[in-house]
C-alpha cells in the first residue's frame, strides 16, 4: 500500500514516499524520518489506530507493573545481569556453543546479515524445502531472511497472527509486539478475504471483522501449513550460556507449533541474547511479559536444549549473529542498548511513536529503542540512521518504562553528538554549519558580541515583527514568529546597572 | 579467520576495560502464603486467563476427567504413554495412548488430551510441563483443542524464582498460562488461536 507524498526519497530518486514499505524493499527504500513523519501525521486512520493501541497498553502495563512491590528490584537485577553478561560476552558465547553442541545442536556464527541468510538458505536447501514456517522474530526480520529464502524459491510463512496480517497485506511490521498495530479490524478482514485463498486455505465466505472470527480464520489457514512443513525458523528471547537452552516467549501457540512439529529447527539469535545461567530466567520471565503484553505471564513459553530424543525437531541449528552488535558493544555510552529484551514498552509510552507509528522510523527497530539501536548498529554515516536520534522530545518516558533500565535519553544525546561530529568531518559546509561557525566566532570574543548585539538592536526599527525568514531558517518560522529584538542587550544593561534605581532597590 | 574467530575477537576488543557489576538481587523469591493460600491464589490467577479450574480430591480425579470430557462432547482423547490407567476409568470416549507415538495429522483428529504437570506458579497462574511422568511429548498437549491438565497440589509454588529452581533445563519445557490467546487485533484479547482453545485445570489436593 503506497501513499503519495510531496517529498521524494534521496536514494530512490523520483519514487514517491512509501509509508508501509513492501517487504522486498525491506526498509531500505524508506524516506528519512522527517519526510515519513510528515506523511504519517496526515494519515487519520493510522493516528486513530495508534492512539487507541498505545493508550490501552500503557494503562494495562501500569496495572501489571503496579502489582509487583519489588518491580524496581527486578528492574535493577535485569539491568545488572545483562551488563554482567556483556562484560564477559566472549566467555559466555563460547560456553553457550559448547553446551548447545553437547546437547545435540549445531551452532553457526554469522558476522553479518548476508552470512546468516546464506547459512539459513543452505540448511533449507539441504532438506529440499519449498516452504518453511516461521515464529515471529526480530532477528530474522533484521537480516531479511524471508527475502533471502524467497530469492532461492523458498516461501517463508509467518505464523504469528499479526505477522500473517502484515505478510498477506504486503507491508512490513510497525511495532515489535503487535506488528499490525497500524491496521484495524476492517482492514484485516479485507486482507484475509482477498489474500488467504491465493496462498492456501481461503478465508470463510461469511468472514466478519469480529476479532474472534478473524483469529479462527487464521487458525484454519495456518493449521495446514503447520502439519505439512518440515523446516521451521525462529529467533530466541533468551539463550542460556550455562546449559545451551533457548527460550521463546509467545501467546498464540504458533511458536509451540513451529518449535515442536517440524523435523528441522533453525534459530537465529543475536549474540546479545545470552544470559549466564538458567536461574537468571527467574528475573526475565517476570519483567518481560508485564512490560510487553502487560500480562502476569504470556500464554506460552517454550524452552529447549539441543535435541530431545523422540520429542520435537531432531535436527536443531543455532545461528549466532553479530550484524553490528559488536560495534554497539564498543560504544561505552551506547552499549546499554544491548540490554534490550524487545518488550516494546518504550514504544507504547513515546509521544513521538504514538503520533507517527513504527514505519516512519524506516527500520525493523522503531520507537525510542530504534532511535538509538539503529545508529549504534550501523553507525551514523548513513544519513537515515543519523536522523533517528533527533526523533525524540527527550521526555524520558522511555527510560522510566524500560524493564532493563536503558537510559535512552542519554544515549540519544550522545548519538546526536556523534551525528553532528560525523557531519562536520565528512561534509561540504552546509548553511547550518556556516551559521554555527559564524556564531562560534561571534560568541568567542566579547567585543565582537557587543558589536553584533548593537547592530541587531539598531535593526529594530526596520523589522519590528518578523514572521518569516528566508532559506534554511524558514523551517523555524513556518510555525513560529521570531521574537522581537530587545532595545538593549542584557550585556549593555548589565554594564549600566549601577545607574538605575531599580537595580539598587533589588540589591538592598 | 573464521566468522567465529572474527566475532569473538570483535567482542574482546569492544569490552576491553568494561567492568562487570555485582548483580543486585533484592527481588522477592517467595510469597508469604501457606499451602491453602497458594492454591486459592493459583485458582484466581488461572481463572483470570479464562481457563476452567477446579480443586478436587484424588478420589474424585477419575470421575472429574470423565465428566469434563462428557460435558465438552469429546469424541476422543489422547494420553501420554505412562498415564495412570486409574485416571481413565470413567472415560466413555475413544482413548488413544501415545505409544507408539501418534503422528501430527492423527492428533489433529483428536478432540482432547489429558496430562499431568511438573510445577505451577500461584502468583502468575502458570503451569509448567517438563515431559516428565504423565506429561508426554510436547506435541500431544498442543494439537487437540481441549487440554485437561492435572496439577498435584504438592507441585504448586508461589513465585517464578521458586519454579525456575525446581526445573531441569535439559528437559523440553512448556510454560502455559491460560488457553492460547492473541491481542493482535486492536489489542482485543481473543482466547484461542493455534494452541488448545480450552484449558481445564484440575488441582488435586
Condensed to tens digits (0 to 9), the pLDDT of residues B20-57 reads 999 999 999 999 999 999 999 999 999 999 999 999 99
Condensed to tens digits (0 to 9), the pLDDT of residues A220-230 reads 999 999 999 99
pTM above 0.90, yes or no: no
Can you tell me the distance from the alpha carbon of A363 to that of A25, in angstroms, rounded to the nearest whole number? 11
Give the SS3 label for residue A242: coil
Provide the greatest CA pair distance for chain A: 95
| Spatial CA neighbour of A342 closest among A175, A104, A154 | A175
Can you tell me the distance from the alpha carbon of A215 to that of A219, in angstroms, rounded to the nearest whole number? 6
Q: Is A161 on the interface with B (CB under 8 A)?
A: yes
Q: Is A218 on the interface with B (CB under 8 A)?
A: yes
Give the model's pLDDT for residue A508.
54
| Chain A residues closer than 8 Å to B26 by CB | 70, 73, 76-77
| Distances in whole angstroms, Cα of residue B39 to Cα of each of A98, A366, B79, B122 | 40, 42, 25, 7
| Spatial CA neighbour of A78 closest among A223, A211, A188, A238 | A238
DSSP state letter for B185: T
Contacts with A46 (C-beta within 8 Å, 6 or more apart), sequence order? A19, A40, A182, A357
| Spatial CA neighbour of B110 closest among B137, B85, B75 | B75
Phi and psi of A325, rounded to 5°?
Answer: -65, -35
Residue among B24, B190, B194 whose CB faces A77 most closely: B24
Cβ–Cβ under 8 Å, residues B145 and B78: no
Give the model's pLDDT for residue A234.
98
Cβ–Cβ under 8 Å, residues A258 and A234: yes
Can you tell me the distance from the alpha carbon of A450 to that of A134, in angstroms, rounded to the nearest whole number? 67
Can you tell me the distance from the alpha carbon of B47 to that of A32, in angstroms, rounded to the nearest whole number? 47
| Spatial CA neighbour of A143 closest among A384, A288, A319, A360 | A319
Q: Indicate whether A503 pLDDT > 60.
A: no
| Chain A residues closer than 8 Å to B121 by CB | 297
Beta pairing partners, B113: B78, B147
pLDDT confidence bin for A12, thresholds 50/70/90: very low
Least confident range from A35-44, A226-235, A468-477, A481-490: namely: A468-477
| Chain B residues closer than 8 Å to A243 by CB | 169-170
Cβ-based neighbour number of residue A67 at 10 Å: 11
Do A301 and B101 lie within an 8 Å CB cutoff? no
Region A441-455: mean pLDDT is 81
Can you tell me the distance from the alpha carbon of A210 to that of A193, in angstroms, rounded to the nearest whole number? 13
Cβ–Cβ under 8 Å, residues B172 and A304: yes
| Spatial CA neighbour of A11 closest among A327, A389, A385 | A385
Q: For residue A332, what is the nearest residue in chain B, using CA coordinates?
A: B18
Cβ-based neighbour number of residue A471 at 10 Å: 7
pLDDT confidence bin for A493, thresholds 50/70/90: confident
Do B164 and A90 lie within an 8 Å CB cutoff? no
Do A283 and B108 lie within an 8 Å CB cutoff? no
Q: Which three cell numbers stand for residue A242?
A: 550455562
Percent of chain B as helix, strand, coil, to the nearest 5 = 30, 25, 45
Least confident range from A30-39, A178-187, B29-38, B151-160: namely: A30-39
Tens of pLDDT, residue by residue, chain B (205 residues): 999 999 999 999 999 999 999 999 999 999 999 999 999 999 999 999 999 999 999 999 999 999 999 999 999 999 999 999 999 999 999 999 999 999 999 999 999 999 999 999 999 999 999 999 999 999 999 999 999 999 999 999 999 999 999 999 999 999 999 998 887 787 777 887 898 999 999 999 9
Condensed to tens digits (0 to 9), the pLDDT of residues A76-125 reads 999 999 999 999 999 999 999 999 999 999 999 999 999 999 999 999 99
**Region class of B158: left (phi > 0), else alpha (psi between -120 and 50), else beta:** alpha
Give the SS3 label for residue B194: coil
Do B187 and A87 lie within an 8 Å CB cutoff? no
Cβ–Cβ under 8 Å, residues B158 and B126: no
Q: Indicate whether A502 pLDDT > 70.
A: no
Average pLDDT score, chain A: 86
pLDDT confidence bin for A6, thresholds 50/70/90: very low
Give the model's pLDDT for residue A465.
57
Do A254 and B194 lie within an 8 Å CB cutoff? yes
Question: Which is more confident, A26 or A5?
Answer: A26
Beta pairing partners, B176: A300, B127
Cβ–Cβ under 8 Å, residues A342 and A158: no
DSSP state letter for A482: B
| Spatial CA neighbour of B134 closest among B176, B90, B78, B95 | B78
| Spatial CA neighbour of A321 closest among B7, B15, B1, B10 | B7
| Chain A residues closer than 8 Å to B11 by CB | 89-90, 93, 271, 326, 329
Q: Indicate whether A459 pLDDT > 70.
A: no
Do A278 and B195 lie within an 8 Å CB cutoff? no
Amino acid at each position: 500500500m503506497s501513499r503519495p507524498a510531496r517529498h521524494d526519497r534521496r536514494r530512490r530518486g523520483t519514487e514517491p514516499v512509501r509509508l508501509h514499505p513492501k517487504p522486498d524493499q525491506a526498509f531500505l527504500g524508506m524516506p528519512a524520518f522527517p519526510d515519513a513523519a510528515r506523511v504519517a501525521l496526515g494519515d487519520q486512520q493510522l493516528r486513530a489506530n495508534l492512539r487507541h493501541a498505545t493508550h490501552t497498553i500503557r494503562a494495562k502495563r501500569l496495572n501489571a507493573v503496579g502489582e509487583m512491590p519489588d518491580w524496581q528490584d527486578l528492574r535493577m537485577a535485569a539491568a545488572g545481569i545483562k551488563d554482567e553478561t556483556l562484560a564477559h560476552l566472549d566467555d559466555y558465547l563460547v560456553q553457550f556453543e559448547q553446551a548447545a553442541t553437547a546437547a545435540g545442536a549445531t551452532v553457526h556464527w554469522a558476522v553479518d546479515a548476508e552470512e546468516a541468510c546464506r547459512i539459513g538458505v543452505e540448511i533449507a536447501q539441504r532438506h529440499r524445502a519449498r516452504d518453511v514456517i516461521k515464529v515471529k522474530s526480530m532477528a530474522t526480520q533484521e537480516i531479511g531472511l524471508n527475502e533471502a529464502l524467497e530469492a532461492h524459491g523458498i516461501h517463508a510463512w509467518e505464523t504469528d497472527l499479526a505477522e500473517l496480517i502484515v505478510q498477506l497485506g504486503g507491508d512490513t511490521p510497525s511495532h515489535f509486539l503487535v506488528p499490525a498495530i497500524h491496521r484495524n479490524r476492517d482492514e484485516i478482514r479485507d486482507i484475509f478475504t482477498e489474500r488467504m485463498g491465493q496462498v492456501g486455505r481461503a478465508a470463510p465466505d461469511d468472514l466478519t471483522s469480529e476479532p474472534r472470527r478473524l483469529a479462527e480464520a487464521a487458525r484454519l489457514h495456518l493449521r495446514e501449513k503447520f502439519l505439512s512443513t518440515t523446516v521451521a525458523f525462529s529467533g530466541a528471547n533468551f539463550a542460556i550460556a550455562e546449559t545451551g537452552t533457548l527460550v521463546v516467549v509467545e501467546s498464540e501457540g504458533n511458536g509451540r507449533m513451529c518449535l515442536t512439529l517440524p523435523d528441522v529447527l533453525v534459530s537465529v539469535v543475536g549474540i546479545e541474547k545470552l544470559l549466564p545461567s538458567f536461574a537468571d530466567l527467574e528475573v526475565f520471565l517476570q519483567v518481560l511479559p508485564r512490560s510487553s503484553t502487560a500480562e502476569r505471564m504470556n500464554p506460552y513459553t517454550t524452552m529447549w536444549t539441543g535435541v530431545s530424543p523422540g520429542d520435537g525437531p531432531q535436527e536443531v541449528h543455532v545461528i549466532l549473529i553479530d550484524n553490528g552488535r559488536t560495534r554497539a558493544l564498543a560504544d561505552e555510552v551506547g552499549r546499554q542498548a544491548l540490554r534490550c529484551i524487545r518488550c516494546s514498552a518504550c514504544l507504547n509510552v513515546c509521544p513521538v511513536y504514538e503520533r507517527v507509528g513504527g514505519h516512519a522510523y524506516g527500520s525493523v527497530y522503531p520507537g525510542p529503542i530504534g532511535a538509538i539501536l539503529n545508529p549504534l548498529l550501523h553507525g551514523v554515516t548513513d544519513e537515515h540512521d543519523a536522523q533517528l536520534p533527533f526523533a525524540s522530545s527527550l521526555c524520558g518516558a522511555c527510560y522510566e518504562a524500560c524493564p532493563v533500565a536503558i537510559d535512552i535519553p542519554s544515549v540519544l544525546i550522545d548519538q546526536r553528538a556523534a551525528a553532528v561530529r560525523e557531519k562536520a568531518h565528512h561534509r561540504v559546509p552546509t548553511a547550518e554549519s556556516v551559521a554555527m561557525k559564524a556564531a562560534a566566532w561571534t560568541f568567542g570574543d566579547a567585543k565582537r558580541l557587543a558589536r553584533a548585539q548593537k547592530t541587531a538592536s539598531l535593526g529594530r526599527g526596520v523589522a519590528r515583527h518578523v514572521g518569516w525568514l528566508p532559506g534554511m531558517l524558514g523551517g523555524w518560522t513556518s510555525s513560529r514568529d521570531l521574537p522581537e529584538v530587545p532595545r538593549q542587550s542584557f550585556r549593555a544593561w548589565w554594564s549600566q546597572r549601577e545607574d538605575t534605581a531599580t537595580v539598587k532597590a533589588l540589591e538592598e | 579467520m573464521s566468522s567465529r574467530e572474527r566475532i569473538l575477537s570483535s567482542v574482546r576488543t569492544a569490552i576491553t576495560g568494561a567492568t562487570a557489576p555485582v548483580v543486585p538481587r533484592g527481588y522477592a523469591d517467595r510469597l508469604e502464603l501457606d499451602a491453602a493460600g497458594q492454591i486459592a491464589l493459583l485458582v484466581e490467577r488461572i481463572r483470570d486467563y479464562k481457563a476452567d479450574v477446579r480443586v478436587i480430591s484424588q478420589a474424585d480425579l477419575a470421575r472429574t476427567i470423565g465428566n469434563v470430557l462428557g460435558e465438552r462432547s469429546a469424541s476422543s482423547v489422547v494420553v501420554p504413554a505412562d498415564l495412570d490407567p486409574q485416571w481413565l476409568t470413567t472415560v466413555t470416549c475413544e482413548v488413544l495412548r501415545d505409544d507408539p507415538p501418534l503422528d501430527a495429522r492423527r492428533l489433529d483428529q483428536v478432540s482432547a488430551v489429558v496430562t499431568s504437570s511438573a510445577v505451577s506458579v500461584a502468583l502468575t497462574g502458570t503451569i509448567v510441563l517438563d515431559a516428565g511422568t504423565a506429561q508426554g511429548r510436547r506435541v500431544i498437549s498442543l494439537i487437540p483443542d481441549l487440554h485437561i491438565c492435572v496439577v498435584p497440589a504438592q507441585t504448586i509454588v508461589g513465585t517464578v524464582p521458586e519454579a525456575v529452581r525446581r526445573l531441569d533445563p535439559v528437559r523440553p519445557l512448556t510454560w502455559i498460562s491460560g488457553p492460547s490467546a492473541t491481542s493482535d487485533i486492536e489489542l482485543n484479547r481473543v482466547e484461542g488461536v493455534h494452541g488448545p482453545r480450552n484449558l481445564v485445570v484440575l488441582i488435586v489436593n
